[in-house]
Amino acid sequence: MKIETIRHSLAHILAAAVQELYPGTKFGIGPEIENGFYYDFDLPRALTPTELPKIEKKMRELIKQSVKFEKKIVSKNEAKKLFKDQPYKLELIDELPEAKVFVYVCGKFTDLCCGPHIKNSKEIPLDSFKLTKIAGAYWRGNEKNPMLTRIYGVAFKTKKELDNHLKVEAEAEKRDHRVLGQKLELFGFDEEVGAGLPLWHPKGTILRKIIEDYLYKELTSQGYQWIVSPHIGKLDLWKTSGHWELYRENMYSPIKIDEEEYMLKPMNCPFHVKIYKTKIRSYKELPIKYAELGTVYRYEKSGVLHGLVRVRGFTQDDAHIWCPPEQLSAELTKLLKHGFKILKTFGFKDCDIYLSTRPEKYAGTLKDWEKATNVLKYVLKKLKLKYQLDPGSGVFYGPKIDIKIKDSLGRPWQCTTIQVDFNLPEKFNMNYITKKGQKQRPIMIHRALIGSIERFIGVLLEHYSGSLPLWLMPVQVLVIPVGSRHEKYGKTIKEQLSNEGIRVGLKDENETVSKKIREGEIQKIPYLLVVGDKEMKTKSVRVRSKNKDLGIMKLTNFIEKIKIEIENKKPK
Protein backbone atom coordinates (compact mmCIF):
# COMPACT_ATOMS: atom_id res chain seq x y z
CA MET A 1 0.00 0.00 0.00
CA LYS A 2 1.27 3.45 -0.89
CA ILE A 3 2.22 5.52 2.15
CA GLU A 4 0.31 8.50 0.67
CA THR A 5 -2.90 6.46 0.75
CA ILE A 6 -2.26 5.43 4.34
CA ARG A 7 -1.62 9.07 5.30
CA HIS A 8 -4.83 10.23 3.68
CA SER A 9 -6.76 7.41 5.33
CA LEU A 10 -5.29 8.42 8.69
CA ALA A 11 -6.75 11.90 8.15
CA HIS A 12 -10.20 10.26 7.98
CA ILE A 13 -9.47 8.18 11.08
CA LEU A 14 -8.40 11.37 12.86
CA ALA A 15 -11.69 13.02 11.88
CA ALA A 16 -13.61 9.94 13.04
CA ALA A 17 -11.84 10.08 16.41
CA VAL A 18 -12.55 13.81 16.78
CA GLN A 19 -16.21 13.19 15.88
CA GLU A 20 -16.51 10.72 18.74
CA LEU A 21 -14.57 12.75 21.28
CA TYR A 22 -15.97 16.18 20.46
CA PRO A 23 -19.60 15.88 19.35
CA GLY A 24 -20.83 18.90 17.41
CA THR A 25 -17.55 19.39 15.53
CA LYS A 26 -17.83 20.84 12.03
CA PHE A 27 -15.40 19.37 9.54
CA GLY A 28 -13.22 21.20 7.04
CA ILE A 29 -10.84 19.21 4.86
CA GLY A 30 -8.14 16.66 5.59
CA PRO A 31 -5.51 15.97 2.95
CA GLU A 32 -2.32 13.95 2.97
CA ILE A 33 0.83 16.10 3.03
CA GLU A 34 4.59 15.59 2.99
CA ASN A 35 5.45 13.11 5.78
CA GLY A 36 1.88 12.97 7.06
CA PHE A 37 -1.57 14.48 7.04
CA TYR A 38 -3.81 17.06 8.68
CA TYR A 39 -7.47 17.75 9.23
CA ASP A 40 -9.19 21.11 9.82
CA PHE A 41 -11.92 21.23 12.45
CA ASP A 42 -14.37 23.79 13.76
CA LEU A 43 -14.51 22.46 17.32
CA PRO A 44 -17.15 23.19 19.95
CA ARG A 45 -14.35 24.33 22.26
CA ALA A 46 -10.68 25.25 22.07
CA LEU A 47 -8.21 22.38 22.03
CA THR A 48 -4.81 22.18 23.75
CA PRO A 49 -1.85 20.07 22.62
CA THR A 50 -2.17 18.03 25.83
CA GLU A 51 -5.29 16.48 24.33
CA LEU A 52 -3.46 15.04 21.32
CA PRO A 53 -2.50 11.74 23.07
CA LYS A 54 -6.16 11.20 23.91
CA ILE A 55 -7.16 11.68 20.25
CA GLU A 56 -4.31 9.44 19.15
CA LYS A 57 -5.47 6.73 21.54
CA LYS A 58 -8.99 6.96 20.11
CA MET A 59 -7.56 6.66 16.59
CA ARG A 60 -5.76 3.44 17.56
CA GLU A 61 -8.97 2.07 19.04
CA LEU A 62 -10.80 2.74 15.79
CA ILE A 63 -8.01 1.23 13.69
CA LYS A 64 -8.09 -1.94 15.80
CA GLN A 65 -11.81 -2.30 15.10
CA SER A 66 -10.93 -3.05 11.44
CA VAL A 67 -13.29 -0.44 10.03
CA LYS A 68 -13.90 -0.55 6.31
CA PHE A 69 -13.39 2.40 3.94
CA GLU A 70 -16.34 2.31 1.55
CA LYS A 71 -16.72 4.53 -1.48
CA LYS A 72 -20.22 5.64 -2.42
CA ILE A 73 -21.59 7.72 -5.23
CA VAL A 74 -24.58 9.87 -4.34
CA SER A 75 -26.52 12.67 -6.00
CA LYS A 76 -25.90 16.26 -4.99
CA ASN A 77 -29.21 16.35 -3.14
CA GLU A 78 -28.44 13.18 -1.23
CA ALA A 79 -25.03 14.58 -0.33
CA LYS A 80 -26.63 17.75 0.96
CA LYS A 81 -28.88 15.67 3.20
CA LEU A 82 -25.93 13.59 4.42
CA PHE A 83 -23.96 16.69 5.36
CA LYS A 84 -26.89 18.84 6.45
CA ASP A 85 -25.15 19.78 9.72
CA GLN A 86 -21.79 20.41 8.06
CA PRO A 87 -21.65 23.96 6.62
CA TYR A 88 -18.11 23.61 5.23
CA LYS A 89 -18.96 20.41 3.40
CA LEU A 90 -22.16 22.00 2.04
CA GLU A 91 -20.09 24.87 0.66
CA LEU A 92 -17.82 22.38 -1.12
CA ILE A 93 -20.75 20.34 -2.46
CA ASP A 94 -22.30 23.50 -3.94
CA GLU A 95 -19.13 24.19 -5.87
CA LEU A 96 -18.78 20.68 -7.34
CA PRO A 97 -19.20 20.87 -11.11
CA GLU A 98 -20.76 17.45 -11.53
CA ALA A 99 -24.12 16.06 -10.42
CA LYS A 100 -22.52 13.04 -8.79
CA VAL A 101 -20.73 13.30 -5.48
CA PHE A 102 -18.18 10.84 -4.09
CA VAL A 103 -18.25 10.08 -0.39
CA TYR A 104 -16.23 7.75 1.77
CA VAL A 105 -17.76 5.98 4.73
CA CYS A 106 -15.40 4.86 7.45
CA GLY A 107 -17.24 3.50 10.47
CA LYS A 108 -19.47 6.23 11.84
CA PHE A 109 -17.66 8.95 9.92
CA THR A 110 -18.62 9.93 6.40
CA ASP A 111 -16.54 12.34 4.35
CA LEU A 112 -16.76 14.07 1.03
CA CYS A 113 -13.84 12.55 -0.85
CA CYS A 114 -12.85 10.82 -4.08
CA GLY A 115 -10.09 8.75 -2.47
CA PRO A 116 -8.16 6.64 -3.03
CA HIS A 117 -8.19 4.98 0.38
CA ILE A 118 -7.15 1.75 1.96
CA LYS A 119 -9.83 -0.94 2.11
CA ASN A 120 -9.68 -1.56 5.82
CA SER A 121 -8.17 0.29 8.77
CA LYS A 122 -6.19 -2.81 9.73
CA GLU A 123 -3.81 -1.94 6.87
CA ILE A 124 -2.49 0.97 8.97
CA PRO A 125 0.56 0.08 11.07
CA LEU A 126 -0.37 1.04 14.64
CA ASP A 127 3.07 2.17 15.76
CA SER A 128 4.26 4.33 12.89
CA PHE A 129 2.05 7.43 13.10
CA LYS A 130 1.81 10.28 15.57
CA LEU A 131 -0.18 13.47 16.02
CA THR A 132 2.36 16.26 16.21
CA LYS A 133 0.79 19.68 16.60
CA ILE A 134 -2.20 21.99 16.56
CA ALA A 135 -2.31 25.19 14.52
CA GLY A 136 -4.89 27.76 13.49
CA ALA A 137 -5.81 27.77 9.80
CA TYR A 138 -8.35 29.92 8.01
CA TRP A 139 -11.01 27.98 6.13
CA ARG A 140 -9.70 27.67 2.58
CA GLY A 141 -6.66 29.78 3.46
CA ASN A 142 -8.68 33.01 3.34
CA GLU A 143 -8.36 35.35 6.32
CA LYS A 144 -11.93 36.58 5.83
CA ASN A 145 -13.14 33.06 6.66
CA PRO A 146 -13.43 31.51 10.13
CA MET A 147 -10.26 30.27 11.82
CA LEU A 148 -10.32 26.47 12.14
CA THR A 149 -8.19 24.18 14.28
CA ARG A 150 -5.74 22.14 12.24
CA ILE A 151 -4.39 18.95 13.75
CA TYR A 152 -1.21 17.67 12.12
CA GLY A 153 0.07 14.14 12.13
CA VAL A 154 3.04 12.30 10.66
CA ALA A 155 2.95 8.75 9.36
CA PHE A 156 5.45 6.32 7.90
CA LYS A 157 5.59 2.72 6.84
CA THR A 158 7.66 1.61 9.82
CA LYS A 159 8.24 2.68 13.40
CA LYS A 160 11.93 3.09 12.58
CA GLU A 161 11.15 5.66 9.89
CA LEU A 162 8.81 7.48 12.25
CA ASP A 163 11.39 7.58 15.06
CA ASN A 164 14.05 8.83 12.69
CA HIS A 165 11.73 11.55 11.40
CA LEU A 166 10.83 12.69 14.93
CA LYS A 167 14.51 12.78 15.89
CA VAL A 168 15.41 14.92 12.87
CA GLU A 169 12.45 17.24 13.55
CA ALA A 170 13.45 17.74 17.18
CA GLU A 171 17.02 18.51 16.14
CA ALA A 172 15.83 20.81 13.33
CA GLU A 173 13.73 22.78 15.80
CA LYS A 174 16.80 23.41 17.95
CA ARG A 175 18.68 24.80 14.96
CA ASP A 176 15.87 26.78 13.33
CA HIS A 177 17.65 29.52 11.38
CA ARG A 178 14.99 32.09 12.30
CA VAL A 179 15.79 31.62 15.98
CA LEU A 180 19.56 31.53 15.34
CA GLY A 181 19.34 34.65 13.17
CA GLN A 182 17.87 36.57 16.06
CA LYS A 183 20.16 35.10 18.71
CA LEU A 184 23.30 35.79 16.68
CA GLU A 185 21.96 39.24 15.65
CA LEU A 186 22.20 38.47 11.93
CA PHE A 187 18.84 39.40 10.48
CA GLY A 188 15.21 39.99 11.32
CA PHE A 189 11.80 40.81 9.95
CA ASP A 190 9.53 43.74 10.70
CA GLU A 191 5.80 43.73 10.22
CA GLU A 192 5.82 47.35 9.13
CA VAL A 193 8.45 46.60 6.49
CA GLY A 194 6.51 43.62 5.17
CA ALA A 195 6.42 39.85 5.17
CA GLY A 196 9.20 38.00 3.38
CA LEU A 197 11.49 41.05 3.34
CA PRO A 198 14.50 40.39 5.59
CA LEU A 199 16.41 43.20 7.28
CA TRP A 200 20.13 42.46 7.49
CA HIS A 201 21.73 43.62 10.73
CA PRO A 202 25.46 44.55 10.90
CA LYS A 203 26.70 41.04 11.73
CA GLY A 204 24.49 39.41 9.11
CA THR A 205 25.74 41.91 6.57
CA ILE A 206 29.34 40.92 7.35
CA LEU A 207 28.40 37.28 6.73
CA ARG A 208 26.77 38.21 3.41
CA LYS A 209 29.82 40.23 2.40
CA ILE A 210 32.19 37.34 3.18
CA ILE A 211 30.13 35.04 0.95
CA GLU A 212 29.87 37.67 -1.78
CA ASP A 213 33.60 38.40 -1.72
CA TYR A 214 34.36 34.69 -1.95
CA LEU A 215 32.04 34.30 -4.94
CA TYR A 216 33.48 37.41 -6.54
CA LYS A 217 36.98 35.95 -6.41
CA GLU A 218 35.91 32.47 -7.50
CA LEU A 219 33.88 33.60 -10.51
CA THR A 220 36.43 36.16 -11.63
CA SER A 221 38.99 33.35 -11.73
CA GLN A 222 36.63 31.41 -14.01
CA GLY A 223 36.43 34.20 -16.57
CA TYR A 224 33.16 35.80 -15.47
CA GLN A 225 32.73 39.55 -15.83
CA TRP A 226 30.71 41.38 -13.20
CA ILE A 227 27.81 43.65 -14.06
CA VAL A 228 25.04 45.51 -12.21
CA SER A 229 21.48 45.99 -13.42
CA PRO A 230 18.49 48.02 -12.13
CA HIS A 231 15.73 46.64 -9.91
CA ILE A 232 12.95 47.72 -12.25
CA GLY A 233 12.51 47.67 -16.00
CA LYS A 234 9.77 48.55 -18.50
CA LEU A 235 6.88 46.18 -18.89
CA ASP A 236 7.69 45.89 -22.61
CA LEU A 237 11.04 44.32 -21.77
CA TRP A 238 9.25 41.55 -19.86
CA LYS A 239 6.82 41.12 -22.75
CA THR A 240 9.72 40.56 -25.15
CA SER A 241 11.41 38.14 -22.76
CA GLY A 242 8.23 36.10 -22.34
CA HIS A 243 8.09 36.57 -18.57
CA TRP A 244 4.90 38.61 -18.80
CA GLU A 245 3.20 35.79 -20.65
CA LEU A 246 4.56 32.79 -18.78
CA TYR A 247 5.83 33.98 -15.43
CA ARG A 248 3.29 36.68 -14.53
CA GLU A 249 1.87 34.95 -11.45
CA ASN A 250 5.26 35.36 -9.75
CA MET A 251 5.56 39.06 -10.66
CA TYR A 252 4.23 42.12 -8.82
CA SER A 253 1.84 44.62 -10.40
CA PRO A 254 3.28 47.29 -12.71
CA ILE A 255 4.55 50.59 -11.28
CA LYS A 256 3.54 53.67 -13.25
CA ILE A 257 6.34 56.15 -14.00
CA ASP A 258 5.76 59.02 -16.47
CA GLU A 259 2.77 57.27 -18.07
CA GLU A 260 4.79 54.12 -18.64
CA GLU A 261 4.57 50.83 -16.82
CA TYR A 262 7.57 49.29 -15.08
CA MET A 263 7.98 45.95 -13.35
CA LEU A 264 10.03 44.96 -10.32
CA LYS A 265 12.44 42.40 -11.72
CA PRO A 266 11.74 38.74 -10.93
CA MET A 267 14.90 37.79 -12.84
CA ASN A 268 18.02 39.50 -14.12
CA CYS A 269 18.25 37.83 -17.52
CA PRO A 270 16.84 40.49 -19.87
CA PHE A 271 19.24 43.12 -18.51
CA HIS A 272 22.21 40.86 -19.09
CA VAL A 273 20.99 40.21 -22.63
CA LYS A 274 20.85 43.98 -23.23
CA ILE A 275 24.48 44.39 -22.20
CA TYR A 276 25.52 41.55 -24.52
CA LYS A 277 23.70 43.28 -27.34
CA THR A 278 25.46 46.63 -27.05
CA LYS A 279 28.17 45.42 -29.44
CA ILE A 280 28.59 43.09 -32.38
CA ARG A 281 30.08 39.95 -30.82
CA SER A 282 32.69 37.75 -32.47
CA TYR A 283 33.17 34.00 -31.95
CA LYS A 284 36.55 34.95 -30.49
CA GLU A 285 34.87 36.57 -27.48
CA LEU A 286 32.74 33.54 -26.64
CA PRO A 287 31.95 32.23 -24.14
CA ILE A 288 30.81 35.53 -22.62
CA LYS A 289 29.99 35.16 -18.93
CA TYR A 290 28.19 37.90 -17.03
CA ALA A 291 27.71 37.58 -13.29
CA GLU A 292 25.63 39.70 -10.96
CA LEU A 293 24.55 39.49 -7.36
CA GLY A 294 21.12 40.49 -8.53
CA THR A 295 18.30 41.26 -6.13
CA VAL A 296 14.98 40.05 -7.50
CA TYR A 297 11.39 40.20 -6.26
CA ARG A 298 8.95 37.34 -6.68
CA TYR A 299 5.45 36.89 -5.42
CA GLU A 300 5.07 34.13 -2.85
CA LYS A 301 1.83 33.45 -1.00
CA SER A 302 2.09 34.69 2.59
CA GLY A 303 1.34 31.18 3.88
CA VAL A 304 4.50 29.71 2.35
CA LEU A 305 6.94 32.43 3.48
CA HIS A 306 9.50 30.93 5.83
CA GLY A 307 12.41 32.85 7.40
CA LEU A 308 15.18 33.29 4.87
CA VAL A 309 14.43 30.19 2.84
CA ARG A 310 11.17 31.44 1.34
CA VAL A 311 11.15 35.23 0.90
CA ARG A 312 9.72 37.85 -1.46
CA GLY A 313 12.94 39.70 -2.19
CA PHE A 314 16.31 37.99 -2.47
CA THR A 315 19.75 38.24 -4.03
CA GLN A 316 20.69 35.58 -6.53
CA ASP A 317 24.27 34.68 -7.34
CA ASP A 318 23.14 34.92 -10.91
CA ALA A 319 25.11 34.57 -14.11
CA HIS A 320 24.51 34.05 -17.80
CA ILE A 321 26.82 32.37 -20.24
CA TRP A 322 26.57 32.67 -24.00
CA CYS A 323 28.44 30.25 -26.19
CA PRO A 324 28.26 28.64 -29.66
CA PRO A 325 26.34 25.32 -29.70
CA GLU A 326 29.58 23.36 -30.02
CA GLN A 327 30.89 24.80 -26.73
CA LEU A 328 27.77 23.95 -24.74
CA SER A 329 28.79 20.60 -23.29
CA ALA A 330 32.29 21.85 -22.37
CA GLU A 331 30.85 24.92 -20.63
CA LEU A 332 28.30 22.84 -18.72
CA THR A 333 31.03 20.47 -17.61
CA LYS A 334 33.17 23.34 -16.28
CA LEU A 335 30.16 24.84 -14.62
CA LEU A 336 29.19 21.69 -12.75
CA LYS A 337 32.74 21.02 -11.59
CA HIS A 338 33.16 24.56 -10.35
CA GLY A 339 29.74 24.47 -8.66
CA PHE A 340 30.65 21.37 -6.69
CA LYS A 341 33.96 22.93 -5.65
CA ILE A 342 32.10 25.92 -4.20
CA LEU A 343 29.52 23.80 -2.37
CA LYS A 344 32.29 21.67 -0.91
CA THR A 345 34.10 24.76 0.38
CA PHE A 346 30.98 25.64 2.34
CA GLY A 347 30.92 22.12 3.76
CA PHE A 348 28.26 20.45 1.62
CA LYS A 349 29.36 17.12 0.22
CA ASP A 350 26.14 15.20 -0.30
CA CYS A 351 23.51 16.24 -2.79
CA ASP A 352 20.70 15.02 -5.00
CA ILE A 353 20.80 15.95 -8.67
CA TYR A 354 17.67 16.38 -10.78
CA LEU A 355 17.22 16.82 -14.50
CA SER A 356 14.00 18.74 -15.15
CA THR A 357 12.35 18.43 -18.53
CA ARG A 358 9.78 20.38 -20.56
CA PRO A 359 6.81 21.80 -18.60
CA GLU A 360 3.27 22.22 -19.91
CA LYS A 361 3.72 25.94 -20.58
CA TYR A 362 6.84 26.32 -22.66
CA ALA A 363 8.49 28.49 -25.27
CA GLY A 364 10.57 27.36 -28.24
CA THR A 365 10.42 24.29 -30.44
CA LEU A 366 10.24 20.64 -29.40
CA LYS A 367 13.43 20.00 -31.36
CA ASP A 368 15.40 22.56 -29.36
CA TRP A 369 14.04 21.17 -26.10
CA GLU A 370 15.15 17.70 -27.04
CA LYS A 371 18.58 18.88 -28.12
CA ALA A 372 19.16 20.81 -24.89
CA THR A 373 17.92 17.95 -22.70
CA ASN A 374 20.24 15.53 -24.44
CA VAL A 375 23.27 17.73 -23.89
CA LEU A 376 22.47 17.96 -20.17
CA LYS A 377 22.10 14.17 -19.97
CA TYR A 378 25.37 13.69 -21.83
CA VAL A 379 27.29 15.97 -19.45
CA LEU A 380 25.85 14.33 -16.33
CA LYS A 381 26.78 10.94 -17.69
CA LYS A 382 30.28 12.04 -18.64
CA LEU A 383 30.89 13.37 -15.13
CA LYS A 384 29.48 10.12 -13.71
CA LEU A 385 26.90 12.04 -11.70
CA LYS A 386 23.85 10.10 -10.58
CA TYR A 387 20.62 12.00 -11.21
CA GLN A 388 16.88 11.63 -11.12
CA LEU A 389 14.52 12.75 -13.86
CA ASP A 390 11.97 15.35 -12.84
CA PRO A 391 9.58 15.32 -15.79
CA GLY A 392 7.76 18.57 -16.57
CA SER A 393 9.67 20.68 -14.04
CA GLY A 394 11.88 22.64 -16.43
CA VAL A 395 11.60 26.43 -16.72
CA PHE A 396 9.43 27.72 -19.56
CA TYR A 397 12.50 28.53 -21.68
CA GLY A 398 14.51 25.33 -21.27
CA PRO A 399 15.48 22.17 -19.39
CA LYS A 400 17.62 22.42 -16.25
CA ILE A 401 19.80 20.63 -13.76
CA ASP A 402 18.93 21.28 -10.13
CA ILE A 403 21.14 20.37 -7.25
CA LYS A 404 19.69 19.88 -3.80
CA ILE A 405 22.35 19.95 -1.13
CA LYS A 406 21.90 17.77 1.95
CA ASP A 407 22.48 19.32 5.33
CA SER A 408 23.88 17.64 8.42
CA LEU A 409 20.40 16.28 9.24
CA GLY A 410 20.09 14.80 5.77
CA ARG A 411 17.47 17.31 4.67
CA PRO A 412 17.61 18.35 1.00
CA TRP A 413 17.68 22.05 0.04
CA GLN A 414 17.30 23.39 -3.49
CA CYS A 415 20.44 25.35 -4.24
CA THR A 416 22.19 25.19 -7.60
CA THR A 417 20.29 25.55 -10.84
CA ILE A 418 21.76 25.35 -14.35
CA GLN A 419 19.38 26.08 -17.21
CA VAL A 420 19.90 25.83 -20.95
CA ASP A 421 17.98 28.38 -23.00
CA PHE A 422 17.50 28.44 -26.78
CA ASN A 423 14.62 30.82 -26.38
CA LEU A 424 15.77 34.20 -25.04
CA PRO A 425 18.54 34.55 -27.68
CA GLU A 426 15.76 34.09 -30.25
CA LYS A 427 13.37 36.57 -28.62
CA PHE A 428 16.03 39.25 -28.31
CA ASN A 429 17.61 38.45 -31.67
CA MET A 430 21.07 37.82 -30.22
CA ASN A 431 23.95 37.03 -32.55
CA TYR A 432 27.66 36.52 -32.87
CA ILE A 433 29.81 36.47 -35.97
CA THR A 434 31.27 33.05 -36.78
CA LYS A 435 34.76 32.34 -38.12
CA LYS A 436 33.28 32.33 -41.61
CA GLY A 437 31.78 35.78 -41.04
CA GLN A 438 28.21 34.59 -40.65
CA LYS A 439 25.66 35.61 -38.05
CA GLN A 440 24.66 32.90 -35.63
CA ARG A 441 22.59 32.60 -32.46
CA PRO A 442 24.50 31.84 -29.28
CA ILE A 443 23.12 29.42 -26.71
CA MET A 444 22.38 30.93 -23.33
CA ILE A 445 22.94 29.27 -19.97
CA HIS A 446 21.30 30.71 -16.85
CA ARG A 447 22.84 29.56 -13.64
CA ALA A 448 22.95 30.21 -9.92
CA LEU A 449 25.38 28.16 -7.88
CA ILE A 450 24.45 28.81 -4.28
CA GLY A 451 20.97 29.93 -5.38
CA SER A 452 20.16 32.94 -3.29
CA ILE A 453 22.30 34.48 -0.58
CA GLU A 454 19.33 34.62 1.78
CA ARG A 455 18.29 31.01 1.40
CA PHE A 456 21.88 29.80 1.46
CA ILE A 457 22.59 31.58 4.74
CA GLY A 458 19.43 30.03 6.19
CA VAL A 459 20.65 26.58 5.13
CA LEU A 460 24.19 27.23 6.41
CA LEU A 461 22.86 28.25 9.82
CA GLU A 462 20.78 25.09 10.13
CA HIS A 463 23.53 22.87 8.73
CA TYR A 464 26.05 24.13 11.30
CA SER A 465 23.51 24.85 14.01
CA GLY A 466 24.82 28.45 14.03
CA SER A 467 28.48 27.50 14.63
CA LEU A 468 29.68 28.40 11.15
CA PRO A 469 33.22 27.58 10.01
CA LEU A 470 35.73 30.15 11.26
CA TRP A 471 36.17 31.91 7.89
CA LEU A 472 32.46 32.70 7.77
CA MET A 473 31.88 33.83 11.34
CA PRO A 474 31.06 37.56 11.63
CA VAL A 475 32.94 37.65 14.95
CA GLN A 476 35.82 35.16 15.05
CA VAL A 477 37.44 36.03 18.36
CA LEU A 478 36.23 37.63 21.57
CA VAL A 479 38.75 39.04 24.04
CA ILE A 480 37.62 38.75 27.67
CA PRO A 481 39.64 40.68 30.29
CA VAL A 482 39.28 39.10 33.75
CA GLY A 483 39.11 42.44 35.59
CA SER A 484 39.26 46.13 34.83
CA ARG A 485 43.07 46.21 35.26
CA HIS A 486 43.37 43.79 32.31
CA GLU A 487 41.29 45.90 29.95
CA LYS A 488 44.24 47.80 28.53
CA TYR A 489 46.03 44.55 27.68
CA GLY A 490 42.77 43.23 26.20
CA LYS A 491 42.56 46.31 24.00
CA THR A 492 46.08 45.85 22.61
CA ILE A 493 45.28 42.22 21.79
CA LYS A 494 42.14 43.30 20.00
CA GLU A 495 44.13 45.82 17.97
CA GLN A 496 46.80 43.30 17.04
CA LEU A 497 44.23 40.72 15.88
CA SER A 498 42.31 43.38 14.03
CA ASN A 499 45.47 44.49 12.22
CA GLU A 500 45.88 40.90 11.04
CA GLY A 501 42.42 41.04 9.45
CA ILE A 502 40.76 38.96 12.14
CA ARG A 503 37.21 39.97 13.15
CA VAL A 504 37.46 40.50 16.88
CA GLY A 505 35.38 41.91 19.72
CA LEU A 506 36.26 42.98 23.26
CA LYS A 507 34.06 42.21 26.23
CA ASP A 508 34.95 44.97 28.68
CA GLU A 509 31.66 45.27 30.58
CA ASN A 510 31.87 45.14 34.34
CA GLU A 511 30.65 41.55 34.65
CA THR A 512 32.00 38.29 36.02
CA VAL A 513 34.33 36.32 33.75
CA SER A 514 32.00 33.33 33.71
CA LYS A 515 29.11 35.53 32.58
CA LYS A 516 31.23 37.05 29.79
CA ILE A 517 32.30 33.57 28.67
CA ARG A 518 28.72 32.37 28.69
CA GLU A 519 27.62 35.28 26.52
CA GLY A 520 30.42 34.61 24.04
CA GLU A 521 29.41 30.97 23.87
CA ILE A 522 25.74 31.83 23.33
CA GLN A 523 26.88 34.00 20.41
CA LYS A 524 28.77 30.89 19.15
CA ILE A 525 32.00 32.89 18.81
CA PRO A 526 34.68 30.34 17.78
CA TYR A 527 37.51 31.60 20.02
CA LEU A 528 37.31 33.30 23.39
CA LEU A 529 40.57 34.74 24.72
CA VAL A 530 40.55 35.19 28.50
CA VAL A 531 43.30 37.49 29.80
CA GLY A 532 44.33 38.04 33.43
CA ASP A 533 47.53 38.70 35.39
CA LYS A 534 49.39 35.60 34.22
CA GLU A 535 48.54 36.13 30.56
CA MET A 536 49.45 39.82 30.77
CA LYS A 537 52.89 39.02 32.24
CA THR A 538 53.75 36.41 29.59
CA LYS A 539 52.18 38.18 26.53
CA SER A 540 49.85 35.25 26.11
CA VAL A 541 46.15 34.38 26.11
CA ARG A 542 44.01 31.63 27.61
CA VAL A 543 42.12 30.12 24.69
CA ARG A 544 38.59 28.75 24.91
CA SER A 545 36.91 27.12 21.95
CA LYS A 546 33.72 25.09 21.63
CA ASN A 547 33.09 25.25 25.39
CA LYS A 548 36.55 23.88 26.14
CA ASP A 549 39.62 25.39 27.76
CA LEU A 550 42.57 24.90 25.41
CA GLY A 551 45.09 26.35 27.84
CA ILE A 552 47.53 29.25 27.62
CA MET A 553 49.12 30.14 24.31
CA LYS A 554 51.55 32.87 23.20
CA LEU A 555 49.57 35.54 21.36
CA THR A 556 51.84 35.24 18.30
CA ASN A 557 51.25 31.48 18.17
CA PHE A 558 47.51 31.96 18.45
CA ILE A 559 47.52 34.47 15.59
CA GLU A 560 49.49 32.08 13.40
CA LYS A 561 47.15 29.17 14.17
CA ILE A 562 43.95 31.09 13.52
CA LYS A 563 45.22 32.66 10.30
CA ILE A 564 45.96 29.24 8.83
CA GLU A 565 42.53 28.02 9.86
CA ILE A 566 40.83 31.00 8.21
CA GLU A 567 42.95 30.70 5.09
CA ASN A 568 42.09 27.00 4.68
CA LYS A 569 38.33 27.71 4.88
CA LYS A 570 38.10 24.46 6.74
CA PRO A 571 34.50 23.29 6.98
CA LYS A 572 33.69 21.93 10.43
- Positions marked active-site: 269, 298, 316, 318, 320, 400, 446
Nearest residue to 480 (alpha-carbon basis) of 508, 440, 450: 508
Between 180 and 269, name the residue whose CB sits nearer to Zn ion: 269
| CB 212, min distance to Zn ion, A | 19
Count of residues binding Zn ion (CB under 5 A)? 3
Identify which of residues 200 and 290 has a Cβ nearer to Zn ion in the complex.
290
**Nearest approach, Cβ of residue 8 and Zn ion (Å):** 5
| Span interacting with Zn ion, options 18-26, 265-273, 284-292, 294-302, rule CB under 5 A | 265-273
- For residues 5-24, which are near Zn ion according to CB under 5 A? none
DSSP 327: G
Q: 99 Cβ partners below 8 Å, 6+ apart?
A: 75, 76
- Residue closer to Zn ion (CB basis): 151 or 269: 269
Nearest CB to Zn ion, comparing residues 418 and 479: 418
Residues 320-349 that bind Zn ion (CB under 5 A): none
- CA angle, corner 145, sides to 43 and 106, nearest 5? 45
Residue 91: strand, helix, or coil:
helix
Distance CA 416, CA 402 (A): 6
- Shortest distance in whole angstroms from residue 398 CB to Zn ion: 10
Q: What is the pairing mode between strands 400-406 and 388-390?
A: unpaired
- Site map for Zn ion, 405-444, x if CB under 5 A? ----------------------------------------
| Peptide bond between residue 116 and the one before it cis (omega within 30 degrees of 0) | yes
Instruction: Tell me the window of 204-212, 233-241, 263-271, 368-376 that interacts with Zn ion (CB under 5 A).
Output: 263-271
Judged by CB under 5 A, the stretch of 151-159, 236-244, 307-315, 446-454 that binds Zn ion is 446-454
Q: Per rule CB under 5 A, is residue 269 in the interface with Zn ion?
A: yes
Query: CB 442 → Zn ion: shortest distance, Å?
Result: 14
113 near Zn ion (CB under 5 A): yes
Among 446, 463, 542, 544, binds Zn ion (CB under 5 A): 446
Which residue, 204 or 270, is less far from Zn ion as judged by CB? 270
Q: What is the DSSP letter of 398?
A: B
Nearest CA to 415 among 386, 447, 379? 447
- Give the long-range contacts of residues 90-96, CB within 8 A, separation 24 or more: 92/29
Q: Is 101 in the site for Zn ion (CB under 5 A)?
A: no
Q: Is 516 in the site for Zn ion (CB under 5 A)?
A: no
How far apart CA 491 and CA 482 sit, in angstroms, is 13
Which of these ranges, 105-113, 338-346, 356-364, 380-388, lies near Zn ion under the rule CB under 5 A?
A: 105-113
Backbone angles phi, psi at 544, to 5 degrees: -120, 135
d(CA 421, CA 401): 12
CA atoms within 13 A on the CB side of 468: 29
Binding marks (x or -) toward Zn ion, 459..498, rule CB under 5 A? Answer: ----------------------------------------
Which CB atom, from 446 or from 544, has the smaller least distance to Zn ion?
446
Q: What's the start-to-end Cα distance of the chain, in Å?
A: 42
Q: Which is nearer to Zn ion, 98 or 173 (CB)?
A: 98
Q: Does 524 bind Zn ion (CB under 5 A)?
A: no
Q: Give 507-514's long-range contacts (Cβ < 8 A, gap of 24+).
A: 507/478, 507/479, 507/480, 507/481, 508/481, 510/484, 513/480, 513/482
Sole window of 187-195, 248-256, 445-453, 535-543 interacting with Zn ion (rule: CB under 5 A): 445-453
Footprint on this chain of Zn ion (rule: CB under 5 A): 113, 269, 446
